[in-house]
Copies of this chain bind each other. A is one copy, B any other.
C-alpha cells in the first residue's frame, strides 16, 4: 500500500472520552505502516446523552463519509442516538461515501442498517475505539485497525469468513428498526444477533418483533452471539437466551445455526456485511 490508510472517527451516538481517543491514536501509531486515525472534533461534543446535537452528529458523519481522502469511517462509541440522525444525509452521500468501509456495532446498527438498505459503502459490525477501555480491549481495537488498515481478515468472524451472506446486529437495535419503511430486506441472510444488559423476557420480545418481519422469516438462518450481563428477573424466565433463539427459529421454520463470535466484549469479531471469502475459511470455521 503506497500510503497510510486514513480512518476518520465520528460518534453518531454518545461522545468519546479524550483519553480513549489518545490511547487509540497511540496504538495506531505503534503499528508499523499502520493507519492514520483522526478523531473528528464532533466525537468530543456533548448535548445531554449525545455527542452533540442531531444536526452536528449528522453533519460530521456526512463530512467524513463524503471526503475522498478518508478510506474508512469508524464509529467511536455506541451508547444511544444513531437513530436520530437527519435522514436526508443518507440521500446526500457521494461516490466517495459509496466506496468506504463503515465499522461499528451496538447502537450504530441504525447506521449500518441504513447503509445496507441503501446499498452505500461496506457496513461492517465490529469493535469501536471505545472498546479499548474493556479488559483485553487493545486486542479488539488492534483487530479493527488491522482490518481497516490493510484488510487483514484474521479477525473476521468464522461464519463470515466462509462467504455466506451475513449481517450482524444488536438484537434490540434490529428490533427497533426492522419495521421501518426503509429497513433492509434480510431474506437470504445469515443474521447474527448479540445482546447486552437486557432481561430474558426482553430478548424474547425482540425475537417476536424480528419474526413479524417477512424478510426475517425468509432468512438463511439465525446465529446467536454473546448475550452478556443479563439482569436477573423475578420470576426467572425459564429459558436461556439460546433456548429463546431456538424457540423462535423453530416457530417460523428458520434454521438456527448456532453461536456467532460477536458480543459486547473484547472478543467481538468482525462481520463484514455480505461476508468475505477467505482461502482458509474451511479451517477457520
A contact set with B: CB distance below 8 Å: 47-49, 80, 83-84, 175-183, 200-201, 204-206, 208-209, 212-214, 233, 235-239
How near does chain B come to A236, taking the closest CB pair, in angstroms? 7
Q: What B residues does A206 contact at CB under 8 A?
A: 176
Q: How far, in whole Å, are A235 and B205 apart by their CA atoms in the complex?
A: 27
Flag if A48 contacts B83 (CB, 8 Å): no
Q: Tell me which of B49, B80, B238 contacts A49 (CB under 8 A).
A: B238
**Complex copy number for this chain:** 2
Across the interface, name the chain B residue whose C-beta is closest to A247. Answer: B84
Q: Is the CB of A80 within 8 A of B205?
A: yes
CA of A201 to CA of B78, assembled, Å: 13
Secondary structure class of chain A's binding surface, majority of residues = loop
Contact between B201 and A237, CB atoms less than 8 A apart: no
Beyond A181-B212, A181-B213, A208-B83, whether A49 also contacts B176 by CB under 8 A is no
- A176 B201 Cβ-Cβ under 8 A: no
**Among B49, B177, B178, B181, contact of A201 (Cβ-Cβ < 8 Å):** B49
A236-B214 Cα distance, complex, nearest whole Å: 37
